[in-house]
């Protein structure tokens, strides 16, 4: 039994609608965390927010993407990546002290870089290794994103929120373990096995874990809206933002699980 590349095609319009909304919010979060004396960067972040909002409206009105719009999306995302990299570089070089974790800026930069790759290839599994390796690489990407979400939320909660903090710390351990396992399975997959039942089992076990985190994010969002949680969260939108990303992981996970079925040994 042998498996070729068999790239997993994606709906680029839906993918673009999702990520452009996410990137619009990234621009807002950066703006909210910049020092008040950096009006140049604040204005640039606001400009990016407005441009991404306009692009989002265009995408919501379209039924399909043409090559010109794909180029426009790519150029807009490339501009946003450059801005994120510049902000991060300034932080790393201690040229600016913002109310933004440098890891958060790197986190949202990685999301934009990955989307740009998906936009250019039109597939969830871009070239660079076997299909099996690329499927597990998708899990590695999302598990790292989810673990970092846990870290960010944990740091933004008031120390008095001990119950939520304990729940997040428990999830942090479990997501860290899952990420390490995914990285190990990705490395093993490079031997190009015809069957990899362990990877299939791992993917099946991920779904309830991601759902648990998604539900906790949703709960925190509702508590914040009701003024029943103490935190340094700059906007309730942040918690809804990370909840939507967990839903996107679950969506991609279902695709990965379906495709991994091709690597299951016959019973």
Domains detected in the chain? 11-116 (1.20.1260.120), 123-267 (1.20.1260.120)
Q: Grade residue 24 by pLDDT with cuts at 50, 70 and 90.
A: very high
pLDDT value at position 6? 67
CA distances from 200 to 141, 206, 260 (A): 17, 10, 6
Residues 140-159 have a mean pLDDT of 98
pLDDT value at position 7? 81
Instruction: Supply the DSSP string of 36-69, one letter for each residue.
Output: TT-HHHHHHHHHHHHHHHHHHHHHHH-SS--HHH
Give the tokens for residue 214. Answer: 């998604």
Instruction: Supply the DSSP string of 107-151, one letter for each residue.
Output: HHHHHHHHHHHHHHH-BSS-SSS-HHHHHHHHHHHHHHHHHHHHH
pLDDT value at position 5? 56
27 CB contacts (<8 Å, ≥6 apart)? Answer: 45, 46, 48, 49, 52, 80
Tell me 266's DSSP state.
P
| 192 pLDDT more than 70 | yes
| 230 pLDDT more than 90 | yes
pLDDT value at position 265? 86
Tokens 């004396």 correspond to: 37
Q: Grade residue 125 by pLDDT with cuts at 50, 70 and 90.
A: confident
């Amino acid at each position: 039994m042998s498996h070729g590349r068999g790239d997993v095609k994606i709906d680029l319009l839906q993918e673009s609608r999702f990520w452009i909304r996410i990137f619009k919010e990234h621009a807002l979060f950066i703006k909210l965390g910049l020092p008040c004396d950096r009006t140049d960067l604040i204005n640039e972040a606001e400009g990016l927010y407005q441009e991404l909002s306009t692009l989002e409206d265009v995408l919501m009105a379209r039924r399909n993407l043409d090559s010109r719009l794909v180029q426009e999306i790519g150029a807009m995302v490339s501009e946003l990546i450059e801005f994120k990299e510049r902000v991060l570089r300034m932080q790393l070089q201690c040229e600016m002290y913002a109310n933004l974790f440098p890891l958060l800026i790197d986190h949202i930069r990685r999301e934009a870089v990955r989307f740009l790759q998906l936009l250019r290839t039109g597939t969830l599994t871009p070239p660079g290794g076997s299909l099996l390796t690329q499927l597990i690489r998708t899990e590695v990407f999302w598990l790292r994103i989810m673990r970092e979400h846990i870290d960010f939320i944990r740091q933004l909660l008031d120390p008095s929120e001990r119950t939520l903090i304990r729940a997040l710390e428990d999830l942090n351990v479990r997501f860290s373990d899952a990420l390490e396992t995914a990285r190990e399975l990705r490395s093993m997959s490079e031997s190009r096995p015809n069957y990899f039942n362990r990877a299939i089992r791992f993917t099946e076990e991920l779904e309830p874990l991601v759902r648990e985190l998604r539900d906790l994010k949703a709960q925190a969002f509702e508590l914040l809206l009701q003024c029943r949680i103490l935190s340094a969260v700059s906007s309730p939108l942040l918690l809804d933002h990370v909840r939507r990303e967990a839903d996107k992981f679950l969506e991609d996970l279902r695709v990965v699980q379906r495709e991994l079925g091709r690597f299951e040994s016959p019973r």
